[in-house]
Structure 1
Amino acid sequence: MKTRTRHGIILIGVVSVLTSLLFLYNSSFTDAPEDQMQSDGHQMDILQQQTSHLEGYSSIIDHKPLRMHCKSCALVTSSGHMTGSGRGAEIDRKECVIRMNDAPTQGYQRDVGQRTSLRVVAHSSMQRVLRYRLELLNSSQNTFFIFWGPGNYMRQNGKGLVYNNLRLLKQMMPKLQVYVISRLKMQHFDELFKKETGKDRKRSNSWLSTGWFTMAIAVEICDRIDVYGMIPPEFCKSPKLELSVPYHYYEPAGPDECKMYLSHEQGRHGSHHRFITEKRVFANWARMFNIHFYQPDWRPAPVTKNSTDS
């Protein structure tokens, strides 16, 4: 009884510290400093190399590399397009199931499945993950968690507030498999964005989305990726688009997905996710790798060859 009480007190402390941290982070979101270092780029063929261990992802306590490889993966987005899909059993048949942030499965199994092999979590979603810890953490001993965040919050020198809270979480739940993305790997993801889009992420006032990290990680881990709930790049520009689809399947009264995507894509002041730009990149990757899109079902159009090409 005393042990449970002590753990409860510690957990309340974690939530309190984390709440303060997220308030601090949100208040300085647009001008939070990041570590800067020149990189020689991050080629897609490097991402594609599936090995028994993956560089750039280290466990929170002993800093061991992530060891994960799957022949088939279901990458389940949080999109409202998953509502009523009935894809749950199909998703659960994949060797590995990848989810993002705090997207739940309980109550949504018929549409999104119930298994989770890997969950990629943004630093800004930590509070919500803790809030739903009974589902997302307590029953997830077989799930790998990869957390990402800006360098000043993920430092391992005692000054990274998010990193420190993850260490405390791991001490409270020692069986939890918690990994973080290294500083160099984060820089590689930035370089990958620039290589694929021709745009410098920082100069364009952009923040990579959790979807970007998740798709890139999946390319490293999976031989085949079946993506569920991701719309094609031009979907939100369709003149026939009338149906409102929520941004998250578990928040039916939340913001409209296309309105969210378009407002971020067109935003020029402050920092924004470039959701549609990222989806153009994913469509390009699907032309090179074993990536397939469902709910809605679509495939990238073939690249049209210039008539002057021989």
Structure 2
Amino acid sequence: MNDAPTRGYGKDVGNKTSLRVIAHSSIQRILRNRNELLNMSQGTVFIFWGPSSYMRRDGKGLVYNNLQLMNQILPQLKVYMVSRHKMLQFDDLFKRETGKDRKISNTWLSTGWFTMTIALELCDRINVYGMVPPDFCRDPNHSSVPYHYYEPLGPDECTMYISHERGRKGSHHRFITEKRVFENWARTFNIHFFQPDWKPESLTINHLEIKPVF
């Protein structure tokens, strides 16, 4: 996802990237690291998402303009954008699953949200590596690890999750809320979590089956 590298981390994350989902906020980092993330990504499909103001095609859309430039420099790249209509569907999905309106709750969907939903549309089985369960950070003895595996001196994972989940002023990712949705999806769809290995807790009541829309 985004600008996460594989070079130097192959033992943990592998060396193959078939699909990379990228947020509008990561476009500059992608361009700065284009030799590794773009030039060496033979066969990788890139999907960019962002608000319509970044994706507009009238010369004022920052992401769209950069993608046009990328296409001129590297015409072999397979680059796609999430349309405004699809972005609204992602918002609707969040509201259906959580009962919360994304805009009213000052929520920014994470790249993980887009990636998981796209994966559900494309894959018969999804193996998710490195994602902790929703209640992980409640355990006072939880391990402390970086939010990004490639930034060992960066912010702590749980510190980031909790601050975003509780944030009210400005827009925030709701990482823990999203993880609860993913946990619920795993009860219906062929989703499995590894490193750490965990399975969704059993529900004591029947839940509605709501299929993601992409």
TM-score, scaled to structure 1: 0.65
Where relative contact order (Cα < 8 A, 6+ residues apart) is larger, the structure is: 1
Alignment check: 8 A CA contact 1:141 1:177 kept: no
Is residue 283 of structure 1 aligned with residue 183 of structure 2?
yes
For 2:67 and 2:155, the matched residues in 1 are separated by 30
Q: Which residue of 1 aligns with 2:100?
A: 199
User: Is 1:218 aligned with 2:122?
Assistant: no
CA distance in 1, matches of 2:140, 2:10: 33
Partner of 2:74: 173
In the alignment, what sits opposite 1:186? 87
Aligned residues: 206
Q: Residue 154 of structure 1 corresponds to which residue in structure 2? A: 55
Residue equivalent to 2:146: 246
Correspondence for 1:271 among 171, 194, 206 = 171
Query: Which of structure 1's runs of 4+ aligned residues deviate more than 4 A?
Result: none
Contact 1:201 1:207 in 2 (8 A): yes
RMSD of the alignment, in Å? 1.0
CA distance in 1, matches of 2:183, 2:58: 39
When Rg is computed on C-alpha atoms for both structures, the one with the higher figure is 1
Question: Which residue does the alignment assign to 1:300?
Answer: 200
Unaligned runs of 5+ residues in structure 1 are: 1-99
Q: 1 CA distance for matches of 2:4 and 2:144?
A: 20
Q: TM-score, normalised by structure 2?
A: 0.94
Partner of 1:95: none
Match of 2:23 in 1: 122
The alpha-carbon deviation at position 101 of structure 1 amounts to: 0.5
Deviations 1:120-161 (A, max 9, x none): 000111111111111110011200000001111101233322
Amino acid at match of 2:199: R
SS at match of 1:203: coil
Q: Could you say which residue in structure 2 is the equivalent of 1:260?
A: 160
* Equivalent residue letter for 1:110: K
Unaligned runs of 5+ residues in structure 2 are: 207-214
User: Which amino acid counterpart does residue 126 of structure 1 have in structure 2?
Assistant: I
Cα deviation digits, residues 19-56 of structure 1 (max 9, x gap): xxxxxxxxxxxxxxxxxxxxxxxxxxxxxxxxxxxxxx
1:162 and 1:138 map into 2 onto residues whose CA distance is 19
Provide the identity percentage: 72
**Aligned-residue offset at 1:239:** 2.6
Q: Per-residue displacement from partner, 1:229-257 (whole Å, max 9, x unpaired)?
A: 0010000011322x311001110010000
1:58-97 Cα deviation digits (max 9, x unpaired): xxxxxxxxxxxxxxxxxxxxxxxxxxxxxxxxxxxxxxxx
Residue equivalent to 2:40: 139
